[in-house]
Structure 1
């Protein structure tokens, strides 16, 4: 397991590279060019600027999250081909700076959805919260404004310029079904995966967050059967999964341990975080500790260990603790605590196996 940490870039993150490299076991950053609109080819000078900063800090930049997919690709419009060509050109450039994994998603319009960015927990910390009853009557335009109320931080998936066409996009998706989305994903994969394979970059689809349709929009990366189907659309080790325990874990029917076992050889990247799911369908993000949520974090890490997981892993969303002022879900303190918990689990399993092997040789 190779530990990495998401970083939004200089001037766009409260967490510094110096702080990241002090977290035990962290060897690289998970990055992106957040100011480049979806569909555009990434400029090499901007890529190199990130590389220079990472190099100076002694951190690698092998994982990108995300090279966003233009809506025309998801919609299957004739214009998709030019955006796919831009995507290919970006893959080639990323390979030149040592990138090995591209995390991306195929969610229509929204990358994620929460109803409250700072819901208070019993211990006084706050976290991202999803209240199911609020979704149906939600004013989406007001929610866009709330999520982007701090102009100092970009909120991936909720970029203002991306959502200026909100009404237009909903109209465009009006007759798009799950089957259409799978077909459009296959078209994209058939074009992209050969290029990714040629340049030794593994594409890693991120699950839908939450893992069910919202606002009448179809979603396809929602559970074990659909992940299996997606990976079979283009059966290649370069068509992989970002195993996100928080996204998939919002639906208690998803068996994350079973998924870690089944898809082990197709998981180049893992987002590990915990959520507590309530009987009414609400869920809130918690500490990474197994007992604090509904997700079997211990079992997931054990499954990865048992399958000799050598991919990249990062703590995902953290709580806001100790008065930290940061981008919602992306502070330093709770994610650093999460890393130490994940390492604790991994080291414990490693010691257990080594002890058992030593006993067998006696």
Structure 2
């Protein structure tokens, strides 16, 4: 397992590269050009600027999250081919700086959804929170306004330049079903995967967050059966999944340990985080510790260790601790604590496995 840490760039992140390099076992950053609109080709000078910063800190940049997909691709519009060509050109450029994995998603309009960015917990920390009843009764336009008013930093998936066209986007998705989205995903994969394979970059789709339909929009990467179907759309080792325990874990019916075992050969990148799901459908993001949520973090790490996972892992959303002023879900302290918990589990399982093997050989 190779540990990496998400970084949003100079001037766009409260966490510095010098801080990241001090977290034990972290060897690289997970990055993107967040100022480049979805669908545009990434400029090489900006890519090289990130590489220079990472090189200076002694960190690699092998994982990109995300090269966002233009809505016209998801909608299957004739204009999609222009944006797909830009995507191919971006893949070629990223290969030049050593990128090996591109995480992306295929969620219509919203990349993720929460109702409270700083919900206070019983210990005084705050965390991202999803209130089911509020989502069912709020106008999406009001929610967008609230999200963008609460952060001075860019919010991936909630970029104002994209969401200012919210009315038009919702109109465009009228009548678009899950089957339409599946077919449009197939078209995208058939165009992109051969290019990714040529450049030895694995395309790893991120599950829908949360893993169910919101505001009547179709969503397709929601559970084990759908992941299996997506990987079969283009049966290539370069068509992969970013297995996110937090996104999938919002639905208690999802067996993430089983997913690790089934999809291990197609998981080049994993997000590990915990959530506590309540009986009414609400959920809040907790510490990474298994006992603090409803996701079997212990079982997930054990499954990865048993399968000999050699891909990239990052701690996903953390709480906001000790008065830290930071991007919602992306402070330094709780994610660093999470890494040490994940390493503790990994090292313990690895040692146990090694002792079992020694006993057999003896």
Same fold (TM over 0.5): yes
Q: Report Cα offsets for 1:172-231 as digits up to 9, x if no partner.
A: 001000000000000000000000000000000000000000100000000000000000
Q: Report Cα offsets for 1:26-70 as digits up to 9, x if no partner.
A: 000000000000000000000000000000000000000000000
Aligned residue in 2 for 1:93: 93
Q: Work out the number of aligned pairs and report it.
A: 362
Q: Report Cα offsets for 1:74-120 as digits up to 9, x if no partner.
A: 00000000000000000000000000000000000000000111111
Aligned residue in 2 for 1:266: 266
Q: Report Cα offsets for 1:131-176 as digits up to 9, x if no partner.
A: 0000122132222122122563100000001101101100100100
Q: Mean alpha-carbon deviation: is it higher for 137-146 or for 93-102?
A: 137-146
Q: Distance in 2 between matches of 1:252 and 1:342?
A: 21
Correspondence list, 1:1-362, <5 A:
1-150=1-150, 152-362=152-362
Given the superposition, is the C-alpha separation of residues 151 and 353 from structure 1 closer, same or farther in structure 2, using an over 3 Å criterion? closer
- Scaled by the length of structure 2, the TM-score of the pair is 0.99
Is the Cα–Cα contact under 8 Å of residues 207 and 247 in structure 2 kept in the other structure?
Answer: yes
SS of equivalent residue, structure 2 residue 89? helix
Is the Cα–Cα contact under 8 Å of residues 151 and 327 in structure 2 kept in the other structure?
Answer: no
- Scaled by the length of structure 1, the TM-score of the pair is 0.99
RMSD across aligned C-alpha pairs, in angstroms? Answer: 0.7
SS of equivalent residue, structure 2 residue 270? strand
Q: Distance in 1 between matches of 2:145 and 2:63?
A: 30
- Once superposed, which parts of structure 1, at least 4 consecutive aligned residues long, lie more than 6 Å away? none
Q: Distance in 2 between matches of 1:101 and 1:297?
A: 23
Structure 2: where are the runs of 5+ without partners?
A: none
